[in-house]
Amino acid sequence: MMIKQAGLTTLGLLCLGLSSTLANTYNQTAADPSTSPNYSSSFTQTARWSDGTSAPAKSMNDASGDTQANDYISTYLMRTPASNWTSTTYYFNTLTLGVNGSNIGNIAFKGLVDNTMIMTGDVRLDGGWLNMNAATSGSNTPITQTIQARSLEIVSSGSIVLTVNYANNNAGETKKEGKLVVNAPLTGGGSLLISNIANTNTIQQNYFRVTFQGDNSAYSGNILINNSSTANNTTYYTTVVVDAGSSLGSGIITLGQGGALTLTDADALSLSSGLVIGNTTFWQINLTSGITYDLQSFSIGGDIWSTIGDTIGGIGSGATHEYSQILGGGIFEISAIPEPSTYVLIGIGLATLVFLRRKSRRQVN
């Protein structure tokens, strides 16, 4: 009886300890103001969260309060802090943008200098998006904004977009070039849109560049890269760069109008991934010279390469794809993906070889 009571007491203490470490969940209750003088950020404003006392960063660089274990859900606009910040840490377990795939909840990256958002937890896109809306600091000088997180999970769907307000262009500016570095592994299986949706005719060159640096091998969703700007830009691209050691997961990557892709090493694409280029006249792929990129299928405007051993490379501009080409000297090769039955046969074959080898040794002895 004493042993039973002691066991129950121990179990109770363990449950109490577990319950004390469970994360609290807080919902954003209002959008951040978009204009001065009332401009402020929900990352630091506790009043915009459901409990009224917690925020991802109670002070700019301090984890005051135990916010690191909390879960935050945003269905509103969240703006990063003042325009002169360079590096800020935010403390949470998860930050979810959107609910059940709804196209609400987004982080607007502000700033006039290169800056970095360091997040201790997972950023989850459940219909929400990352919105870069400060592309240059004037005189055509691009800004690089970086997001670091434990992971960037695409739950149902999500977007990474450039939406620059050109109403206040600096004198002499002829281009806008937004640069976003994602230093967080992609996870999940939702679809991801990466796009430039600016809509001005006053800027002649309009670029959006997203660089992935994390290990994205666990991501299984599909990616669409395009430029949906309504402006009459003479030059515009949305470019996705896959750095060495990173990848785009195992889904289908589609280049739409104005979409561009730069691949570094052979692991940038998965053996199970496919590359689709729509019937567009404005796209570009940059490969590293001498590298073969294995993938399951490749198609351009309905022309499909899916036969094992097919190679694609060096497609230059032509009548169908006036401003489109594959550059860099690398090639794509269509590779086989063994069926499950193939793995079974391989296993049986290996087991048979081991058996015969052991049998042969017994006969010799």
Q: What is the band of 212 on the pLDDT scale with cuts at 50, 70, 90?
A: very high
Task: Name the pLDDT band for 172 (thresholds 50, 70, 90).
Answer: low
pLDDT at 222 exceeding the cut of 90: yes
Query: What is the model's pTM?
Result: 0.81
pLDDT at 71: 92
pLDDT tens-digit map of 95-137: 999 998 877 899 988 777 788 889 989 999 999 999 886 555 5
Span 258-297, pLDDT tens digits: 899 999 989 898 888 899 988 777 888 999 988 999 999 9
Average pLDDT value for residue range 25-31: 93
Predicted local distance difference test score (pLDDT) of residue 113: 79
- Over residues 6-22, the mean pLDDT reads 45
Average pLDDT of the residues in 299-328: 75
Beta-bridge mates of residue 297? 274
Look at residue 85 in the predicted model and tell me its pLDDT: 72
More confident: 88 or 82 = 88
pLDDT of residue 242: 95
Percent of the chain with pLDDT over 70: 67
Kindly report which listed range (31-35, 81-85, 291-295) carries the lowest average pLDDT score: 81-85
Task: Work out the average pLDDT over 162-181.
Answer: 65
More confident residue, 257 or 22: 257
Retrieve residue 153's tokens. Answer: 């999970």
Q: Extract the tokens encoding 22.
A: 């469970």
Best-predicted range by mean pLDDT (100-109, 148-157, 354-363): 148-157
Tokens of residue 7, six digits = 């066991």
**Strand duo 311-312 + 331-334: pairing:** antiparallel
CA angle 120/67/143 to nearest 5° reads 45
Instruction: Name the residue with higher pLDDT: 123 or 85.
Output: 123
Sheet strands side by side (includes 71-74): 25-27, 71-74, 94-97, 122-125, 151-154, 186-188
Look at residue 54 and tell me whether its pLDDT is greater than 60.
yes
Encoded amino acid at 6, one letter:
A
Task: Give the chain's mean pLDDT.
Answer: 77
Q: Which residues contact 77 (CB under 8 A, 6 or more apart)?
A: 31, 32, 34, 106, 108
Domain ranges of the chain: 66-284
Q: Please state, in angstroms and as integers, the Cα–Cα distance from residue 250 to each residue in 101, 269, 274, 276, following that order.
A: 21, 7, 8, 13
Q: pLDDT category, 174, cuts 50, 70, 90?
A: low
pLDDT of residue 87: 83
Give the pLDDT of residue 323.
Answer: 58
* pLDDT, tens only, 331-341: 999 986 555 54
Phi, psi of 238 (to 5 degrees): -110, 110
Report residue 322's pLDDT band, with 50, 70 and 90 as the boundaries: low
